[in-house]
Amino acid sequence: MMPDKMRLRRSVLYVPASNGKALAKLPTLACDAAIIDLEDAVAPQDKISARESLPGLFAERAAGPRELVIRVNPLSGEWGADDLQAALACAPDGILLPKVETPRDILEAGDVLDDNDAADTLRLWAMVETPRALLNIGAIAELGRDPASRLACLVAGTNDLVKETRILATPDRRYLMPWLMQMVLAARAGGLDILDGVSNDFRDAEAFAAECAVAAAMGFDGKTLIHPNQIEPANVAFSPSSEALDEAREIVAAFAVAENVGKGVIALGGRMIERLHLQQAENLLAKAASIGK
Ligand SMILES: CC(C)(COP(=O)(O)OP(=O)(O)OC[C@H]1O[C@@H](n2cnc3c(N)ncnc32)[C@H](O)[C@@H]1OP(=O)(O)O)[C@@H](O)C(=O)NCCC(=O)NCCSC(=O)C[C@H](O)C(=O)O
Ligand SMILES: [Mg+2]
């Protein structure tokens, strides 16, 4: 299994488990990961049949680097516990827990996984989409520091957050911004990946590209998506730009010059460059290498 740090999660597409056409299209799509959704995308009357379709879908799963995650219904509700068992039987890369409110919600799901031998490498992802989750975000993210918790990734659920907090959803997401930044901060503290919420307006390519660029600048690792035409712009926005790569190569080269080896700080192009910048540059180049840039 690929270590989490090496995973690309620039474009993470929700695919409703009840939508055969969308599921059939998935193997042709260039998203880094997909979330097969049993929760909000599936109507109550389709919950059971959607769950029953999972084994067929995963039996046909082509080997490859794309991460496949199943979003179950809340474990406290009517369908969640059975969803979790069905998801486990499919051996996905991860299970996404919706409506997480406290660290306990994640630990309880982890206990179920611990009782299942087949779940050795399975990771947990958690939606941050309720006011309580926001208030508990530090404690939730702290679980990332304990590998036994299996927590690997946080996902902003901006639609539910708008609903639950009653803020106004504006194109610039101004009222969500403080909470999104708090999520990024918590994820970094816990050593977790963090994905931005979805953009519902899937026909407005320009607005979507702008939203992705802002999210990348805010520190998100990628964006959750609802439609195939959002994949390419997300892949572009969350990949290092060629200017950033040129600068990273310059920094690596500068520290490799004989007179700079062993120095903690150097001047480059009129700017102070420290070893922490070298580390940033190396991380960026490693990311570009895994993208194949
Ligand atoms: C939004 C949609 C309902 C639009 O569907 P549709 O009108 O069918 O789109 P198109 O005709 O433009 O589709 C073109 C082709 O692409 C395929 N397609 C569409 N969406 C997907 C997808 N998500 N994955 C894979 N393939 C997809 C269509 O089948 C067409 O294929 P073809 O004819 O063969 O060319 C629809 O896009 C959709 O249902 N999207 C996913 C919605 C979803 O999953 N919602 C739940 C997750 S979001 C959420 O819950 C956020 C969070 O919890 C929060 O609180 O914020
Ligand atoms: Mg939601």
**Helix (H) / strand (E) containing 23:** helix 20-25
Ligand 1: which residue has its CA nearest to atom 10? 227
Q: What's the predicted TM-score (pTM) here?
A: 0.96
25, 125, 198: which to mutate for ligand 1, most atoms within 8 A of CB?
25
Which of 150, 146, 137 has its CA nearest to residue 185? Answer: 137
Distance 62 CA to ligand 2 centre (A): 28
- Helices 103-114 & 80-89, crossing angle to 10 degrees? 50
Calculate how far, in angstroms, residue 75's C-alpha sits from the geometric centre of ligand 2: 14
CATH class, 4-237 region = alpha beta
**Dist CA 48 CA 50 (whole Å):** 5
State in Å: Cα 128 to ligand 1 middle: 21
What integer pLDDT is reported at residue 66 of this predicted model?
87
Q: Tell me the pLDDT band of 1, cut-offs 50, 70 and 90.
A: low
**Separation of CA 238 and ligand 2 centre (Å):** 23
Mean pLDDT of the chain: 95
- For 151-204, how does the pLDDT look when each residue is reduced to its tens digit (9 = 90+)? 999 999 999 999 999 999 999 999 999 999 999 999 999 999 999 999 999 999
- 188 labelled ligand-binding: no
Q: Where are the domains of the chain?
A: 4-237, 242-291
User: 145 among the known binding-site residues?
Assistant: no
Which residue of 227, 230, 231, 232 sits with most ligand 1 atoms within 8 Å of its CB, as the best mutation to test the pocket? 227
CA 39 – CA 50 distance, rounded (Å)? 10
Look at ligand 1, atom 45, and give the residue with the nearest C-alpha. 41
Tell me the two tokens of residue 260: 């700079």
- 2, pLDDT greater than 90: no
Residue nearest ligand 1's atom 29 by CA: 22
Beta-strand runs (E) in 197-279: 222-225, 265-268, 271-274
Would you say 187 and 145 are in contact if contact means Cβ atoms under 8 Å apart?
no
Decide if pLDDT at 64 tops 80.
no
Query: From the CA of 225, how far away is ligand 2's center (Å)?
Result: 13
Element (H, E) at 96: strand 94-97
pLDDT tier at 133, thresholds 50, 70, 90: very high
User: If we measure between CA atoms, which residue out of 137, 149, 125 comes closest to residue 187?
Assistant: 137
Q: Determine whether the annotation assigns residue 129 to a binding site.
A: yes
Tens of pLDDT, residue by residue over 194-239, are: 999 999 999 999 999 999 999 999 999 999 999 999 999 999 999 9
Nearest Cα residue to atom 18 of ligand 1: 22
Residues with CB under 6 A from ligand 1: 13-16, 19, 21-22, 25-26, 37, 40-41, 127, 129, 157-160, 197-198, 202, 226-228
H or E element in which residue 255 lies: helix 242-256
How does pLDDT run across 9-50, given as a tens digit for each residue?
A: 999 999 999 999 999 999 999 999 999 999 999 999 999 999
- For residue 63, the model assigns a pLDDT of 53
Nearest ligand (C-alpha, residue 158):
1
Of all protein residues, the one whose alpha carbon is nearest to atom 7 of ligand 1 is 227
> What per-residue confidence (pLDDT) applies to 85?
96
